[in-house]
Amino acid sequence: ERLKMTFDARAEKSTNMMSARLLRLMATKRTNLCVAGDLRSSAAVLRLADAVGPYICVFKTHVDALDDFSGQFGPQLCEIAKTHNFLIMEDRKFGDIGNTVSLQYGAGNFSVAAWADLVTVHALPGPGIIDGLVSCLETHRAHLKDRACFIVAEMSCKDALTTASYRSEAMKLAETRVDFVAGVVSQSASGIPSPGLIQLTPGVRAGVNGTPQSDSDGLGQQYNSPRHVVLERGADVAVVGRGVTEAPDSAEAAKFYRDLLWEAYLERVSE
């Protein structure tokens, strides 16, 4: 069964190269933590990436929230990623027709395809959105073997419209497009059959004693503890944003979350 398999064993079964690469990275580096660097200045995001780098498998960005984005941001973040061995995910949540997402992915100020290993994609437009992103890579210097996406199948926020049937259709899309899909963003593991697909779960926060610090943020976000998302919800990679960025010492906080999450993963596969 998928959830009992080790990340290494799942990498063997994976048919998507980026999914296999990320699973192996997690196994080797012994971390299933993704930090969301949702800060407003490029320097602050780069500083955060460097500080938490040793403890993470993925660093997640929202570059359209930066006050001072410049063309240097991508290459600088790539340097830090190389130093600490993590992948970069731009959480763009593409959601338009193929032609439009192809432009948004490869062109514009952000040139996401040039520096982000992974991107997030809404399932709403159907398979055409994957075709659009793949066609962009074909005309770009980046290649399919070192780029992939995660499909947002289910959202963490209160009253999200990602119903059970939407979620199940999104899973089908992920399954049929392993050429470009490395995983899904989801709050539970149900309906993810393929061991190669990686479940990324946001909405994670803990108090110092390991119990949830707060179960919401006043704007609809819903939080679960690190143990809960890995053991009860099937998270492979857990996303922690403000739990790290609002801590007095972000490196220490990342280490704290890494330890809790990795311990929960070991418990899951050893049961």
Nearer to ligand 6AU, 141 or 248 (CB): 248
Element (H, E) at 23: helix 17-29
Altogether, the residues listed in the chain come to a count of 271
Contact 132, 162 (CB under 8 A): no
Q: Does 241 bind ligand 6AU (CB under 6 A)?
A: yes
Q: Does 239 bind ligand 6AU (CB under 6 A)?
A: yes
- Please identify which residue in 18, 20, 23, 36 interacts with ligand 6AU, judged by CB under 6 A: 36
Binding segment toward ligand 6AU, per CB under 6 A, in 10-18, 101-109, 135-143, 239-247: 239-247
Q: Does 155 bind ligand 6AU (CB under 6 A)?
A: yes
Q: Assess whether 96 carries a catalytic annotation.
A: yes
- Between CA 76 and CA 211 the distance in angstroms is 36
Nearer to ligand 6AU, 65 or 266 (CB): 65
Contact 245, 208 (CB under 8 A): no
Please tell me whether 111 is known to bind a ligand: no
Q: Does 228 bind ligand 6AU (CB under 6 A)?
A: no
Q: Assess whether 93 carries a catalytic annotation.
A: yes
- Between CA 146 and CA 233 the distance in angstroms is 28
* Residues 162-221 within binding reach of ligand 6AU (CB under 6 A): 185, 202-203, 221
Task: Please state the φ and ψ torsions of residue 74, each to the nearest 5 degrees.
Answer: -55, -60
- Please identify which residue in 3, 38, 54, 212 interacts with ligand 6AU, judged by CB under 6 A: 38
Cα-based distances in Å from 166 to 95, 148, 184, 189: 14, 21, 13, 15
- Between CA 43 and CA 34 the distance in angstroms is 19
Q: Assess whether 159 carries a catalytic annotation.
A: no
* 24 closest CA partner among 83, 86, 89: 86
What DSSP designation does 68 have?
T
Binding segment toward ligand 6AU, per CB under 6 A, in 18-26, 42-50, 98-106, 238-246: 238-246
Please tell me whether 205 is known to bind a ligand: yes
Tokens read off for 88: 């970069």
Residue nearest to ligand 6AU (CB): 241
Q: Does 42 bind ligand 6AU (CB under 6 A)?
A: no
Give least dist CB 157 to ligand 6AU, A: 6
- DSSP SS3 for 124: coil
Nearer to ligand 6AU, 76 or 201 (CB): 201
User: One of 4, 8, 82, 91 is an active-site residue; which one?
Assistant: 91
Q: Does 13 bind ligand 6AU (CB under 6 A)?
A: no
Please tell me whether 156 is known to bind a ligand: yes
Listed in sequence order, the residues at least 6 apart from 37 whose beta carbon sits closer than 8 Å to its beta carbon are 45, 48, 49, 59, 60, 61, 241, 245
What DSSP designation does 150 have?
E
Contact 90, 117 (CB under 8 A): no
Please report, in range form, the residues annotated as the binding site: 38, 60, 156, 205, 221, 241-242
Please give the annotated binding residues for substrate, written as ranges: 38, 60, 156, 205, 221, 241-242
Provide the binding-site residues for ligand 6AU, judged by CB under 6 A. Answer: 36, 38, 62, 91, 120, 152, 155-156, 185, 202-203, 221, 239-243
Active site residues: 91, 93, 96
